[in-house]
């Protein structure tokens, strides 16, 4: 397990949100990577095998592949896509839980984060489905409402992971937190998404793709593609989760600073001694009275 010092609970600018996310990402890189690797390695292997079964020349850089998929192959690809959504959601939830724990000075355990993410998987999938429906309806209504709705609901997943919320409750929580901070939230999401896109492009486009293009064997291309997918997801999923989690906490600091301070310091919530622990949702079996405050040594740990 890895510890972390409690951050200064004050509103953060865009640069500070990114900087805090990167610091937590670097400090807990091993735990975050392990939480993602357990999920993305089997997913990448399965995805590659299904693609090869549908089109054996799919990863052969020297072949002109123009395969027509039959119904069975299309079904297999669709099943793989569903599996990808489920496992990606699990990896993101585990990373969100780990980043939240680190931000609040709790120990970071990748195994506990994965178990926690697994328990939250179905509600998170429901959040994704409901959010997708709302955004699609908004996009149909002249595009701009869809973008507005997407930003207002973007923090539903962190809210569900960190708090004891239902799927619809987490969506309402995100909607409330982003209120009056839409443009700042949109800017943070846009900048972080572009940053992660650039990182992915560098990893896939400059490192993996040229090698695959020059591969004279479909098997070699498939192996390289699998490795590239694993590396890209292992690096970008924790980073994306870190930014969104810090953004979520920043909005809570701005609107509920006193409650968040109580949360990090282990002071009991007025609704009961265990309410803070339940609302935080970060421990498998939190100690009575909420979070235990770290010692001075833990606070100053780099």
Q: What is the DSSP string of 272-293?
A: BTTHHHHHH---SSPPTTSPPP
* DSSP annotation of 10: S
- Tell how far CA 214 is from the center of its chain: 33
> Per the structure block, which two tokens stand in for 183?
């443009």
> What is the four-CA torsion angle of 3, 283, 115, 192, rounded to 10 degrees?
-60
Residue in this structure with the two tokens 């939830």, named with its chain if needed? 93
How much is the pLDDT for 187? 94
Per-residue confidence in pLDDT tens, the chain, 302 aa: 444 455 556 788 889 999 999 999 999 999 999 999 999 998 888 888 887 777 666 666 555 555 555 666 677 678 788 888 888 899 999 999 999 988 888 888 899 999 999 999 999 999 999 998 999 988 887 778 889 999 999 999 999 998 878 899 999 999 999 999 999 999 999 999 999 999 888 877 766 655 555 555 567 777 777 888 888 889 999 999 999 999 999 999 888 764 555 555 543 333 333 333 344 445 444 433 333 333 434 434 44
User: Using an 8 Å Cβ cutoff, are 153 and 189 in contact?
Assistant: no
Q: CA dist 276 to 66, 77, 262, Å?
A: 57, 43, 8
Residue 279 has what pLDDT?
43
Query: Cβ(110)–Cβ(98) under 8 Å?
Result: yes
- What are the C-alpha distances in Å from 124 to residues 7, 43, 84, 199? 27, 19, 14, 26
Q: What is the pLDDT of residue 290?
A: 33
The candidate with the shortest Cα–Cα distance to 117, out of 160, 146, 147, 149, is: 160
In angstroms, what CA-CA distances link 12 with 100, 252, 301?
16, 11, 21
**pTM of the predicted structure, to 2 decimals:** 0.77
- Helices H / strands E in the chain, number of each: 13, 0
User: Pseudo-torsion of CA 239, 245, 247, 251, nearest 10°?
Assistant: 180
Radius of gyration of the chain measured on its C-alpha atoms: 21
> Quick one: tokens of 126?
């429901």
Give the per-residue SS3 of 92-128.
HHHHHHHHHHHHCCCCECHHHHHHHHHHCHHHHHHHH
**φ and ψ of 44, to 5 deg:** -65, -40
CB-CB neighbours of 197 under 10 Å: 11
194: buried, middle or exposed (CB in 10 Å: 19+, 13-18, 0-12)? Answer: exposed
Q: How far is Cα 135 from Cα 119, in angstroms, rounded to an integer?
A: 26
Q: In the numeric block, which tokens belong to residue 279?
A: 């609302």
Q: How long, in residues, is the chain?
A: 302
């Amino acid at each position: 397990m890895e510890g972390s010092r409690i951050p200064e609970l004050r509103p953060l600018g865009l640069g500070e949100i990114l900087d805090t996310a990167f610091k937590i990402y670097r400090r807990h890189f091993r735990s975050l990577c392990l939480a993602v690797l357990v999920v993305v390695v089997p997913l990448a292997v399965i995805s590659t095998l299904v693609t090869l079964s549908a089109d054996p020349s799919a990863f052969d850089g020297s072949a002109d592949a123009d395969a027509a998929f039959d119904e069975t192959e299309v079904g297999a690809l669709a099943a793989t896509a569903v599996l990808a959504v489920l496992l990606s959601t699990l990896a993101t939830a585990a990373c969100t839980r780990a980043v939240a724990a680190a931000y609040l000075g709790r120990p970071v355990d990748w195994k506990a984060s994965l178990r926690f993410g697994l328990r939250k998987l179905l509600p998170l999938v429901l959040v994704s489905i409901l959010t997708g429906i709302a955004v699609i309806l908004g996009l149909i209504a002249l595009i701009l409402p869809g973008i507005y709705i997407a930003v207002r609901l973007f923090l539903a997943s962190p809210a569900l992971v960190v708090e004891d919320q239902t799927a619809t409750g987490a969506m309402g929580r995100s909607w409330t937190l982003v209120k009056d901070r839409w443009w700042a939230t949109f800017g943070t999401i846009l900048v972080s998404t572009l940053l992660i896109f650039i990182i992915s492009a560098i990893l896939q486009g400059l490192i993996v793709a040229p090698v695959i293009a020059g591969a004279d064997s479909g098997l070699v291309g498939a192996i390289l593609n699998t490795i590239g997918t694993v590396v890209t997801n292992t690096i970008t999923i924790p980073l994306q989760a870190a930014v969104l989690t810090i953004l979520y906490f920043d909005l809570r600091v701005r609107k509920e600073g006193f409650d968040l301070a109580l949360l990090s310091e282990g002071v009991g919530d007025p609704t009961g001694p265990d309410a803070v622990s339940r609302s935080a949702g970060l421990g498998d079996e939190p100690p009575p009275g909420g979070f235990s405050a770290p010692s001075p040594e833990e606070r100053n740990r780099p």
